[in-house]
Structure 1
Amino acid sequence: MDRREFLAGAATGTLGTLAGCTNLLERQSTRAPPLVEDRPDAVYVPTHVEGMEMVGVKSSGRYSLALFYSFPHRFWLMDDDRTNKVEIGSEDSLHLMASVWDAETETAIPSSNASLTVEQDGGTVVRKRMWPMLSQNMGFHYGDNVALDGDGVYDATVAFGPVSVRRTGEFADAFEEQVSPSFRFEFRRDALEGQVSFEELPDRQGERDAVEPMSMDMAPTPQLPPAEEMPGTTLGTGTSGDARFVATLLDERPEGVDGDGPYLAVSPRTPYNRFPIPMMALSATLERDGETAFDGNLTSTLDPDLKYHYGAAVDGVEDGDRLTITVDSPPGVSRHEGYETTFLDMEPVEMDVTL
């Protein structure tokens, strides 16, 4: 969908195909049902699911970036090793979200900062950082609630990059520049109600499960491969803080990795939906016959085959080795409801290697 199509659809009220809800300002509480009592310290089904609308997609070089909007909603920021809830503000108009991926491999890029500027008639209405976030229906993205100056046409610019984490393989020399795509959209509060769905989940909320990711025609779902489809030789799997960890070994180090020997890659992901979990600090220890064969940090890395992971070159891995993965700091990524109580208290993950 291009911008002209978007504006035409919004102007005629035909862009949205999802059921409407009651007035946002008059019924603000319906956008934030009471949280589940006794929420588990694990991933759980939230109280509700919100739809979203795509403004458009722009590509530049290997970057592709999509901009979306939904109702303003509560979310949680990380404060050291705890979460801190951000409530819906009385002036908030939308929740704006951006997804970024590699245009050639459709690999999600959950590793760089994004900032947002919204203008109207040449004047700046919003200028802020977009929080890196995890949600159950969208996965990793960048987003925040924004307050607009009422109904009208706005221009949103998302500045993204360069990517700061290590890149390997064909990504080794990619994503070194910043891109700043702009999108024009029309905001009408009454139209928003007819464009974006809102569904409460009274029969499932609080269960240890997750809602299904949304399917988007113009943007890939940012899921990691199942354990059995990861490149290399799978060394083992484990769980910590309800996050799933997959450890794999590549005989050859990917381009961009210093050191000698094979490559140990650890892929943390959310349960149920296999979304990457970025912004954590990991280290690993390999023990063999009572001796330490490796003890070091695992570096945040973006690779076209392994996707987002943490890895290091090691001298070697043998059958019977004991691999311990330690979470030195929990993920600093912000969370939507259903993720705010988990990925916090994370014990070491131990695996007995069988080759």
Structure 2
Amino acid sequence: MNRRGFLRGTAVAGGVATAGCLERLGFEEQSAWANPPIVEDRPDAVYLPAGSEMMDTYGRAADGDVALEVTYTIPHRFWIPGEGGSLVDVDPDDSLHLMLTVWDRETDTVLPVNVQYEILRDGDPIDGVGNSPWPMLAQRMGFHYGDNVPLPDEGSYTVRARVGPVDAVRTGAFEGRLDTTATLTVDFEYAESDVHDIEVELIDEERRGTRDALPLMEHGHHESGSETDHDDHSSDHDVGPAPTSRGPSIDDLPGDVLGTERSGDAKISAVVTDDDRYSDGSTSLAVCPRTPYNDVILPFTSLSVAIEREGTVVHEGTLSETLDDEFGHHYGTGLDRLESGDEITVSIDTPPQVSRHDGYETAFFDFEDVTYSV
């Protein structure tokens, strides 16, 4: 079902809502974007939303080890971090929802990193468009950066993104890399009809709000239903599609898996390895908070740990946000040692500082401590 079809079923009941019809009814073309309805009685957890917007790709680029993919869909609402999340609704001037995925080419890992961008036309930045896109979680898209963007009219544009450096601790194949700023550009052609042709698939009403999630989308194929192929606008034809932001399987990680607990509706796994991955100890503790169902990473979160041995706290400290080629994105620290019977308590001190699309906006806020036994 495309956006216009959705409008026919909601805005103009019993009639055919063409663009001209909408204008005669007092609607401007761009003010008529219709998102699926917000689900009533949403749980404080991940849930199936009322619908799913498809997307399409404008292009890709690379600068050294850093790659960028630019995709788009219809303008839609999202929630920014705050007490329970604050709704950002669609503005009448919004032309599309622009999405940026940044990853490391050597390890094929999506990067949580500082991103700034601007949109150029004829080489000049467009006033009022760009700056810092929101880090975001979406059920189909996973972790990415995005925002609703107003464009003055149809035509040729360029996204210019400045990415990095990576602030997270880097171990393994990441050590000593990604400590500079990369600049990447992707040219694209904006046509209103391409955005209008993006399909919106509605979820059966009886399934909306149930504790589940839409499947994570694999990048590299077109979902919009449009016959337009934008990939020939890529600035680097050697750049393949972006990886997903799903973390590596917990069962495949090196070391001893202490378990997976649930808090704030996130899955939180703890793994211990006997190595010096962190310079401050001979044993490493890795904690992997992820979304349920799709195992998407939860970046920009503050965690701490306390270790109790025979009733006495023997270690307290923070867990550092880390990128590693084996563990992927996680939070970790080095320890002098662990003994059988030790109790490890992990606290989520600050929830993920990411915006959320429908289905994630009520989850990952209220966390209880989780405990693991060695």
What corresponds to 2:355 in structure 1? 334
Counterparts of 1:34 and 1:135 in 2: how far apart (Å)?
Answer: 16
- Over residues 299-338 of structure 1, what are the superposed CA-to-partner deviations in whole Å (9 max), with x where a residue is unaligned? 1111111111111111222222211101111111111111
Amino acid at match of 1:115: Q
Amino acid at match of 1:139: G
Counterparts of 2:368 and 2:270 in 1: how far apart (Å)?
Answer: 16
Q: What's the offset of the Cα at 1:237?
A: 1.4
SS of alignment partner, residue 110 of structure 2:
coil
What corresponds to 1:200 in structure 2? 202
Amino acid at match of 2:163: F
Equivalent of 1:278 in 280, 299, 314: 299
Counterparts of 1:165 and 1:186 in 2: how far apart (Å)?
Answer: 35
Counterparts of 1:268 and 1:115 in 2: how far apart (Å)?
Answer: 26
What corresponds to 2:88 in structure 1? 86
Task: Calculate percent identity across the aligned residue pairs.
Answer: 41
Counterparts of 2:259 and 2:344 in 1: how far apart (Å)?
Answer: 9
Residue 252 (1) aligns with residue 275 (2): yes
What corresponds to 1:119 in structure 2? 120
Counterparts of 2:62 and 2:273 in 1: how far apart (Å)?
Answer: 32
- Over residues 166-197 of structure 1, what are the superposed CA-to-partner deviations in whole Å (9 max), with x where a residue is unaligned? 11112111111111211111111123222x22
Q: What's the offset of the Cα at 1:84?
A: 0.6
Q: Is the Cα–Cα contact under 8 Å of residues 30 and 92 in structure 2 kept in the other structure? A: no
Q: Is the Cα–Cα contact under 8 Å of residues 294 and 315 in structure 1 kept in the other structure? A: no
Amino acid at match of 1:116: Y
Amino acid at match of 1:235: L
Q: What's the offset of the Cα at 1:151?
A: 1.1
What corresponds to 1:262 in structure 2? 283
Q: Is the Cα–Cα contact under 8 Å of residues 95 and 148 in structure 2 kept in the other structure? A: yes
Q: Is the Cα–Cα contact under 8 Å of residues 223 and 276 in structure 1 kept in the other structure? A: yes
- Over residues 63-100 of structure 1, what are the superposed CA-to-partner deviations in whole Å (9 max), with x where a residue is unaligned? 11111111111001112x43111000000001111111
Counterparts of 1:135 and 1:33 in 2: how far apart (Å)?
Answer: 15
Counterparts of 2:134 and 2:281 in 1: how far apart (Å)?
Answer: 37
SS of alignment partner, residue 31 of structure 1:
coil
Amino acid at match of 2:364: F
Equivalent of 2:107 in 75, 88, 105: 105
Aligned pairs for 1:275-354 within 5 A: 275-353=296-374
- Over residues 236-265 of structure 1, what are the superposed CA-to-partner deviations in whole Å (9 max), with x where a residue is unaligned? 2111100001100111122xx331220111
Q: Is the Cα–Cα contact under 8 Å of residues 3 and 33 in structure 2 kept in the other structure? A: no
What corresponds to 2:3 in structure 1? 21
Amino acid at match of 2:137: L
Counterparts of 2:356 and 2:62 in 1: how far apart (Å)?
Answer: 27
Amino acid at match of 1:122: G
SS of alignment partner, residue 170 of structure 1:
helix
Q: Is the Cα–Cα contact under 8 Å of residues 113 and 130 in structure 1 kept in the other structure? A: no
Counterparts of 2:213 and 2:318 in 1: how far apart (Å)?
Answer: 31
SS of alignment partner, residue 299 of structure 1:
strand
What corresponds to 2:254 in structure 1? 231
Amino acid at match of 1:182: T
- Over residues 28-66 of structure 1, what are the superposed CA-to-partner deviations in whole Å (9 max), with x where a residue is unaligned? 666323211110000001111111111112122211111
Residue 47 (1) aligns with residue 50 (2): yes
Counterparts of 2:90 and 2:360 in 1: how far apart (Å)?
Answer: 18
**Once structures 1 and 2 are overlaid, which stretch shifts more, 164-173 or 121-130?**
121-130
Counterparts of 1:62 and 1:266 in 2: how far apart (Å)?
Answer: 26
**Once structures 1 and 2 are overlaid, which stretch shifts more, 22-31 or 211-220?**
22-31
Question: In angstroms, what is the RMSD of aligned CA positions?
Answer: 1.7
What corresponds to 1:16 in structure 2? none
Counterparts of 2:195 and 2:362 in 1: how far apart (Å)?
Answer: 30
Amino acid at match of 2:118: T
Which structure 1 segments of 5+ residues have no match? 1-18
Q: Is the Cα–Cα contact under 8 Å of residues 286 and 331 in structure 2 kept in the other structure? A: yes
Counterparts of 2:49 and 2:30 in 1: how far apart (Å)?
Answer: 19
Residue 138 (1) aligns with residue 141 (2): yes
What corresponds to 2:232 in structure 1? none
Q: Is the Cα–Cα contact under 8 Å of residues 98 and 148 in structure 2 kept in the other structure? A: yes
Counterparts of 2:322 and 2:54 in 1: how far apart (Å)?
Answer: 31
Equivalent of 2:244 in 213, 221, 225: 221
**Once structures 1 and 2 are overlaid, which stretch shifts more, 196-205 or 283-292?**
196-205
Q: Is the Cα–Cα contact under 8 Å of residues 256 and 273 in structure 2 kept in the other structure? A: yes
Which structure 2 segments of 5+ residues have no match? 5-17, 20-27, 221-240
Amino acid at match of 2:290: R
